[in-house]
Structure formats: structure tokens, C-alpha cells
Structure 1
Amino acid sequence: MPKYRIRLKEISKRELWKQIEAPSHIDSHLVTSQVSRRVIDRIFGFELSPVLWKALKMGTLSAGRVQSAVLRWICEREKEIRNFQSESYLEIQASIYDQKDFILTKYDLKDPDALLGIEHQETLKKQYLLDEEGRPSEVTKFTLIDILSKAYRHPAPKPFTTASLQEYANKHLSFSPSQTMSLAQSLYEGKKKGKETIGLITYMRTDSTRISEDKKNIGFNYLHTFFPHLSVNQRSQKPRKTIGKQDAHEAITPTRPDWSPDELNGILKPDELKLYTAIWERFYQSLLAPETGLVFTYLFESKGQHWKYEEKQVLSPGFLAFKDKAIKIGDGKSRWSKSKQFDLEQIRFEEKQTKPKERYSIGQIVAKMERTGIGRPSTYSATIETLLKRKYILHVKSRLGSTSLGERVCDFLVSNCSNLIQDDFTKKLEQDLDELAQGKNDAFQLIDEFYKGIKKIRFLEVSKKRAMDTKKSTDCPNCLQGTIQSKFAKNGKTIYFCSRYPKCNFVSYESPKSNNH
């Protein structure tokens, strides 16, 4: 008896009958690709994890093809933050006014990357005759000497992929990736509305931004009926280019775009309704015209110094008007003419410090996984959850930071098998697996080549650095008799303690300076 496969992009009666009428056969290439992916992932973990156990003297460690590459990103960012050298600089603003307007201008540096030194404060205080509060002791004029304008165009956002949905939900709804996928699964499986049970969104594991023409037409009709004042974009957006993109499923969209969130209030749980609302709004925004406008830059001169003020003017709100009806529309003209003069009210000096890049948020990690082609939509949330479970990373406020344990694991992998956790290697492997799914590659050859590369790592000796570390000891700063020992805590951090504990009660998360013996 022949066997067929049907592919449901959503759970609905319409979609089910459509696929039953046009069934497909089981794709052996897809099966081979999936089996090969599982074999390669297991080889990676089974071969490298024991090496970690031996090197770091812990039997609970693990390495993974995707998780180790993601761990490297987080550890590298953590070290970058730790090694960052902060610099002091001045931010200078002047508040100026005329009979109608009051604006805040910024001191204009020709080099946008240059920093103002603290010495500029005294120079400007003397030049503008400022008191302690930064107010001038005499009337001081600011003259508008030039007006620049630049057109801008912000395209409508594309409908959600798995990665962009997780990123949005993490940033705007404070949902973790696993929470987002759990809620999306519930919406996909469906809810009972009246006498009918229907899935509310399309399949939620996808890297595509495509929308079917039928669904676009439903969306356009809905917009014409309920939002006739909005400008739709009849031209199809080009799908976003993503490395290793499979494009097997359409974007995440409502199965019934005509069901607004208000109609499902009381049917969905609060968090389900929040996520459905985000998907529903994003679908309709993706069908609308871009936001366009002008950015005016006003350049002022006063006592030989230059100041600037920027102002954005929306000419056509496009997709923004779907959620915000109170957007002020400009006329495309500048507010003032050249040579107009303003009076100085006050100059404010604020000393600031340069800051390092922020730690990655969960959403940023997911977006980077999609952008670089590492992992698949079905593994994004699982990868982060695994790193958290292993205590390789931890939550630092709303961001992700590496633990001491995570950095030890990452350092060992970078020192001994760096090529296996580089973006290019992982990306190339994903592309090879995708080619298997298209029948363009040989599974045995791919697995064999991968295994030969991994096998070399299996027999590595514990890194020389660790051997050198055993020759060093650090005196206990408390009793001066014992030496400092270390172990990993349950939270992944390293605890340092005296070898004479409990006679000496020295315990710290900070590593004392080492002395060679």
C-alpha cells in the first residue's frame, strides 16, 4: 500500500483538504539529511565531551556543534567587556530660544568619533561668560547658518520568522525563547471558537518571510474595509536573505487574518493573546507602505563655535499608522530660515564615561544564530536553554553573561579545536546538510570527513596551560600559611578558598594574585 506525506502549514479544515487532494511522497533526501544531522551532532558531543571531562576534571560537561559556537560568542563578549578601558568625555548642550520655540542644541564636532576632553568646559565657560549654573552673564546670540535635509525611508517590517518572533517577544514581552515557542505551539494547535476548533497561526518553526498570495489578498481586503486611510504596499517585498536559509515553510502569520485580537479576548490566555496580537499586527504591518520623511539638521554659530539641532519630519507614516493614529504629519518645509537668531539660555556640561558593548540579550543571540546560519529554527531556544542548564552562561539582568565554568570550557575548546566552533565551520556544515536534503551531497562522505576531523581531537592531551597552572600556587592572603584552592559552584562561578579550610575561613569569588613557587 503506497504511503504519502502531507505538509500542513497550518491546522485548519481548508488546509487539510487542500493537502489531502495533493499529497506528496516521503522525501528520502530530507530523511537522509535529518539522520546525518543527528549522527554528526552525536559524534561531536560523544567525542568532545569526554575530552572536557578529562581536561577540566568534571564529569558533567558537554560540547555541542551549535552550543559551543554560541558559547564562544557570549564568552568573547564577556572578555571584551572585562578588558574595556573606559575614557572620560564631555557632553555639551546649549538650550536656546526665541519668542515661540525652545530647543536643545548639541556642541558640533566635525569628527563624529572624536571625544570632548574635560578641558573644553573651562574654555567655553570663559568664552561665553557663564556662571556656575552655565547661564551667560550677557545676551548671547546663536545664528542659524545652514539647513541640511535628508530623505529617509523605513520599509515595513517583514512577517515573523522563528528567530524574529523570539527576538521580538523577548524584547517587548519579556518572554524567553522556550516560553515563546510554547505559546506559539499552543496557538498553532488551535483553540475552540464557537463550534469550530482551528489553529490560529501557521507553523512556527520557519526561517522564511514568505506570505501566500491568497493570504495577502485576504489581508488587503481587511485593510481596505477596516483601515481605508492606510496605504498598502501592493509590491511584494523581497524575501530576506539569510545564510543557510531553508525556506521550507511560510512566515508565521494568522490562519484567519480577519480574526482580530479583540475577537479572541476571553478565548486565549493573557500571554497567548499578547503573542497572537504581535503576530497579527506584524502581518498587517508587513502589507503596508514604508514610512517616509525628512531629517532636518540645523547648524548654528555662536562666538566661533558650532552647534546643531536635528529634527525628524514624517511625511507619510506608512505602516506606523496601523498602531499609532496620532502621528504628526509634516509639510516637508524647514521650521526656520537661515540667519534666524536665538538667545542662549544655558549651557549644560555633563561628564560621561565611554561604555563597552552590552552583553547579548537572548533575542540578539537568536537573531545572530539566524543571521550567521548557525542552528535551525527548531534549535534556537533549546541551545540557549542547554547553556543555561549546564551553568556555562547565566542571566545578568536581562542579558546573558558567561560563567567561570563556561569560560574554562570555551578556552579549552578554542585552544584545542578552534576550527570546530568557528562560525564559518558551523555554517559550512549546515550548508552541506542542506545540500543533502536537495540530493546534492553524499551522506557517508560528509559524516566520514567530519568524524576524521573530530577523531584527532579525541586523543589530545590535557592542555599545556593546565599543566603549567599546576606548578603555580597562591598564598592565602588571610592566614599566609595555606594556598588557594578552587572549585566550581552550582551557579557556574569559581569559588576560591584556603587549603587550611575550615581552620582558615578565607572564601571568595575573586581570584587572589598568584605567586610562583
Structure 2
Amino acid sequence: MKNLVIVESPNKIKTIKKYLGEEYEVLACNGHIFEMKTSGQFGLGINFDEWEPIYKPDSSKKKIIQDLKKASKSADKIFIATDPDREGEAIGYNLIEALSIEDRYERIKYNEITEEAIKKAINKPLKIDINLINSQKSRRMLDRIIGFRLSNLLARRIANPRTNPSAGRVQSIALKLVIDKEEEIKQFIPIKYNTIKAESEDKVHLFNFFYKENKDFDNSEWIKPEKSKQILSELIGDLVVKQVKTSTKSDAKITPLKQSTLFKKSGMSSKNVTRILQELYEGLDDNGGLISYPRTDSTRLSETFINQAKSYIKKQFGNEYISDTIKGFSGDQDAHEAIRPTDCSLTPDLAKEKFNLNEGQYKIYKIIYNTSLQAIMLPPKREILRYELENNGHWFKLSGSKIVFDGYFALIGKDQQIELPKYKENDVVKIRKYILDENQTNPPSRYNEGSLIEAMDEIKVGRPSTFASTVNVLKERQYVESVNGSLIPNDYGYIALNILKESTKDIIKENYTASIEEKLNKIADGEMDYKIMMNDFWKDFQDKINETISENKEKVKLQVEETGELCPENGAPLIYRYNKKTGQRFIGCSSFPECKFLKPDPNAKTFYKRKKYNTKEETKKI
């Protein structure tokens, strides 16, 4: 064997081997082959003198490591083809050390699993980026320190937790966002306002009352309730057209997709979206990937894809549909591309037919495909018509638009257009009746999984590879519940966050976590020494946590919930209890441990056991 290619996922093996031919053997490491020890000071598994994680081989990867060592000994050259992010770089670095191939390896990076991309990467090999390694291991040590120490703090302070309590640099901020939103909803005071509409005699059009200058509200159509009845009483007869305005306006340009936006657009659970993205990236039926690397916070598109897309758009719709500018930017996480299709000619319907996509796969691929091509097309242009009408000093308006250039609607279909009547100034519009509507403002919406991930991304907390698993941890720990898609914090989540905020005032804050992300980005760019950053962090963190630990505070007890039944063995009330490892709810006697009666809860939600996944996303602790 002359060449060995090591990838992360075994699902890539057949496809990449097909592209490279018999001269290449392709094997998978199944994510991280090392894990951090839990020995040493505070059980953190860190060499504090050198600021190095203390690793040990993952016991579940013993056979994989043996096979990789055997294959690497007979290979002339080894290509490290792990994913193109910091975690992938770290996995590659550990492979180099474990296999002792420092003088025989090449690092290859590819953003899509296509023949062209794989062969191009092989022909332009790199070396491991030590700055990315330093950034990744700094993040790993930071998260281990904060997660372990704060989780231990919670374990000491909560008397009867439903699950083993956990905290973390990113996880706890996500919980804080959910609870802050819930508090905002609780404190919300609705504002009452009215609106008035004029219904045309033919019952086709509704004209909206508006103020030329509204001093009561920002919205020109809102009327104070106490004023509305007087206005209504003064509206007599028909409306007179006072002004006809026409203008032209283009719709908004479309921004290419980053992962957090896709989570929100999909309306699906983050866990399902993550799985589908990986399936589409790795490809179906060994025919290559349908999309580019999905764990990205970038909205830029490569020049290669832009040129391919422009050629496709020109052929399908015409040169006049191509935009000269693309709305996007490079993200902080190694500036990956946006998520995009790998082949513009593979439309969603063709992909569904060719690969037998299921409903979820088709939905996600369609969002990615349409958004990517829309970003390279000109937006639709509209001719806007607006009428302003008057009755007894009170003003009404009616506006609509017609599409004069369909732009990216040529790809996705036009929206419905409402045809307006043709009026001239001083025309009289016959009115059938004036309608008063009583309204009030609504509280802000709770987060769902997608909007929470988007919020985390906006404030630079977390990273694309861990957004979904962060949300899953909140649900698994039972800090929040998903009700009709909305994330609602419960008493356990409130207690956990209150203890953390009370004990670590300066750590469970968005700006603190965001500042760490900024420093990690500087380390990745070679602009900061990671050891100096870790030393500064450790001193500051120790001062804060030691002060907290020295305080002798009482434990907080979660309120137990009675089932309404009595124990058949001693007559004590039966209560709901929880398996701390799995979170599964069951029914037990309130006099436990004196009485050990228990039975299953027929109404309990099924919680899956946490398991060790092969993909790196699921193995990382937040």
C-alpha cells in the first residue's frame, strides 16, 4: 500500500476510495481517538504547568487505533483528511502523535465530498495548523474547568436533583437566554390600541386608517382606545382620493446560509437537522455529497461555486437574472463557506427522485439549494402603488405592488399579488362601513430550538459544531421542556441558574463567554499566546470559585410533585421521581428510603440514554 487516507466518518470511505482509486486505502478514525483524563488537580485532566490536556486513548477506539497503526506502518504517505474545522484539526493532530507519522503525513482539507474537491485537496496538501490546535485545546481546557467546577458546585447545592446537574460555559448561557426570555414574558404588560378600517362598497378592499403624525404610538395605524370612538363617530360617508403615489422598489437580497440560520428556517428539531445535514454532506448511495460542509458560521460563497451557479442561472433564466454582488461574510470559525449545494444542476426535485430523499432530507436540501441560488440572483423588483384618502380630516391608505421583474422568484415561484383598483385624485370611493378593531400587543415569543441557536450565534456564544448538542443537553438535564416546539424552563432550570448566578456573578454572563470566544479566535489567528490567556483565566476563575466554595450555604430542595395516589405498602403519598442518569420519570414512595416501593409512570416521556457517538459533535462536553 502506498497511500493511506484517514477520515473521521466511515460513511465517507467508499465514496472517497472510489474517487482516488486502488492506490489509496481509506480508513476512518470515528472522531476523537483520545479523551481527556479525569485525574490530577480537581480531576480536570490538565497539566497546569505546561497548560496541556492530559489525554488517554479512548477505550472504545482500541481496535480502530490498532488498525490505523497497522495500516500506517505499510504506507509511504498518510493523508489526514479529518473535517476542516478546529475539532478536525485536533483529531488530525492526535492521529499524527498516536501513529508516530510526523515525517510522513500530509493534511488535506475539502469543503465538499465530490471528486473534484477530493482530488484537488490531494494535489494541494497542507500541514497541521498549530494555531488551530492551540485554540482547540484551550477551548477544551476552559470548558473542562468551567464545566467540572460549576457542575460540582450545583451537585453540592441541590438536594434532590432530577438528573445529575451540569453546568458549562456555553450550556449555562443557553439556559440563561431561555429563562431571561421567560421572565420577559412574565413581566410583559400589554399595550391596548385600536385600529379602524373602511370596507369598500364591493367588499373587496379594506382601507387602513392612519395618522399623518402619530404622537401616541410609533405605529401610524394605532389609535388610543379613548380616541377611537370619537374618530369613528366623525367618519361619515365615503372616502376621497387625495394622493396617488407610485414608486419602484427591489426586494431584499438573500444571504447565503450559515448553520444557525438553517436551524431556525427548518422548523425541525436541532437533533434531526444535524443528522440530516451530515447525511447530505457525506452523500447517499456512495455518489458524493449533496451539500458543502454544514458546521459553519460563514455566509460567504467560494468563487468556484459562484461561477458554476452563474452559468446555471444564465442557462436556465438568462443573464439578466445574475447579480453582480453577493451578500455574505466570512465567519469566525475558520471562515468556512456557507452551506450550499455541490451541484447546481441537482434541483431539489431531481435530488428527491435520484436519491429517494425522505421528507426531512428533501426539506433541508430544498432550503439550502434555493437560498444559495437566490443569493446569486437579482431580487425581484416591484412597482408600488399607494393611495391616500380622506374623510372629514381623517386619513386612510391602500397600497399594493405588482412585480415588474421576477428576479429570484423565477427560481422559487412568485408570491400572490393583489390587484388594486385604478383611482385618480379626487375620485370618490364608496364605503360600505367603517370597522373598529380592539387590539393589544402580544408578549415576545419563547425560543424554539432554532431561534435559541440563532440567538447564541448572534452573541458569539458557542460554535456551529456544538449548537445542537448544547440545546439537547438542556433538555436531557430537564432544565427546560419542549412544549409545542417552544422551550420552557422549569423549576429545576431556575434553581440551577440562580445558584450559578449567585455563586459566579461574572462568569454566567453573555459578554464573558463571548470575550472568551474572541480570545480563542485570536489564538487561532496566531495573535495571542494561549498559555498567557489560560494563566490569566485560571487566576481569575480560581479567585471567583474559591470565594464561592468557602461560603457555607444551605442546599436548595426541589419541590416534589405528588401523583394523588397513596403507597400500597405504607399509605404515604406517592411522588414523581427521576432516574438521575437517564432523566426517566417514575413513581415512588415519598417515605423513601424507608419504603422502596416504585412503579413505572405510564405518562412519562421516554428519555433516551446518553451514549457515546462516533461523530465528534456528540462526544464533546459543553
The correspondence of residues 140-159 of structure 1 with structure 2, limited to 5 A, is: 140-149=237-246, 151-159=248-256
Map of 1:432 onto structure 2:
519
Map of 2:274 onto structure 1:
181
What SS does the corresponding residue of 2:390 show, helix, strand or coil?
Answer: strand
Choose the corresponding residue for 2:411, options 322, 330, 349.
322
CA contact under 8 A between 1:162 and 1:252: conserved in structure 2? yes
CA contact under 8 A between 1:230 and 1:322: conserved in structure 2? no
User: Do structure 1's residue 162 and structure 2's residue 162 form an aligned pair?
Assistant: no
The correspondence of residues 239-318 of structure 1 with structure 2, limited to 5 A, is: 239-240=328-329, 245-266=332-353, 267-270=355-358, 271-318=360-407
Choose the corresponding residue for 1:205, options 280, 292, 295.
295
Structure 2 CA distance, aligned partners of 1:86 and 1:325?
36
Give the counterpart letter for 2:507 in structure 1. Answer: L
Give per-residue Cα distances to partners, 1:52-88, cap 9 Å, x unaligned. Answer: 2223325621111111112111111101111112243
CA contact under 8 A between 2:504 and 2:545: conserved in structure 1? no
Give per-residue Cα distances to partners, 1:403-442, cap 9 Å, x unaligned. Answer: 1221222223233323212222111111111111122212
1:124–1:440: structure 2 CA closer, same or farther, 3 Å change rule? closer
TM-score relative to the length of structure 1: 0.80
User: Do structure 1's residue 53 and structure 2's residue 155 form an aligned pair?
Assistant: yes
User: Do structure 1's residue 222 and structure 2's residue 325 form an aligned pair?
Assistant: no
Map of 1:417 onto structure 2:
504
CA contact under 8 A between 1:48 and 1:457: conserved in structure 2? no
Map of 1:113 onto structure 2:
218
Structure 1 CA distance, aligned partners of 2:186 and 2:534?
39
Structure 2 CA distance, aligned partners of 1:8 and 1:38?
24
CA contact under 8 A between 2:171 and 2:474: conserved in structure 1? yes
Give the counterpart letter for 1:387 in structure 2. Answer: L
Identity %: 27
Structure 2 CA distance, aligned partners of 1:321 and 1:122?
47
CA contact under 8 A between 2:298 and 2:338: conserved in structure 1? yes
Give the counterpart letter for 1:57 in structure 2. Answer: A
Give the counterpart letter for 2:196 in structure 1. Answer: I
Give the counterpart letter for 2:439 in structure 1. Answer: K
Structure 1 CA distance, aligned partners of 2:503 and 2:402?
55
Q: CA deviation at 1:376?
A: 0.7
Map of 1:505 onto structure 2:
none
Q: CA deviation at 1:162?
A: 1.3
Map of 1:36 onto structure 2:
138
Range moving further from structure 2, 456-465 or 431-440 = 456-465
Map of 1:88 onto structure 2:
192
CA contact under 8 A between 2:447 and 2:486: conserved in structure 1? yes
TM-score relative to the length of structure 2: 0.67
Choose the corresponding residue for 2:456, options 344, 365, 369.
369
1:327–1:343: structure 2 CA closer, same or farther, 3 Å change rule? closer
Which structure has more relative contact order (CA 8 Å, sep 6+)? It is: 1
Range moving further from structure 2, 348-357 or 375-384 = 348-357
User: Do structure 1's residue 342 and structure 2's residue 446 form an aligned pair?
Assistant: no
Range moving further from structure 2, 390-399 or 182-191 = 390-399
User: Do structure 1's residue 6 and structure 2's residue 94 form an aligned pair?
Assistant: no
Map of 1:473 onto structure 2:
none
1:293–1:80: structure 2 CA closer, same or farther, 3 Å change rule? same
Give per-residue Cα distances to partners, 1:257-315, cap 9 Å, x unaligned. Answer: 22223333342331222222222222211110022334444222112222222323433
1:399–1:414: structure 2 CA closer, same or farther, 3 Å change rule? same
What SS does the corresponding residue of 2:387 show, helix, strand or coil?
Answer: strand
Give the counterpart letter for 1:153 in structure 2. Answer: S
Range moving further from structure 2, 66-75 or 33-42 = 66-75
* Structure 2 spans left out of the alignment, 5+ residues: 1-102, 558-574, 592-622
Give the counterpart letter for 1:81 in structure 2. Answer: I
Q: CA deviation at 1:334?
A: 9.4
Give per-residue Cα distances to partners, 1:197-247, cap 9 Å, x unaligned. Answer: 2121111111122222222222222222223386111x23242376xx234
What SS does the corresponding residue of 1:410 show, helix, strand or coil?
Answer: helix
What SS does the corresponding residue of 1:144 show, helix, strand or coil?
Answer: strand
What SS does the corresponding residue of 2:507 show, helix, strand or coil?
Answer: helix
Aligned length: 461
Q: CA deviation at 1:389?
A: 1.0
* Structure 1 spans left out of the alignment, 5+ residues: 130-139, 471-486, 500-517
CA contact under 8 A between 1:230 and 1:321: conserved in structure 2? no
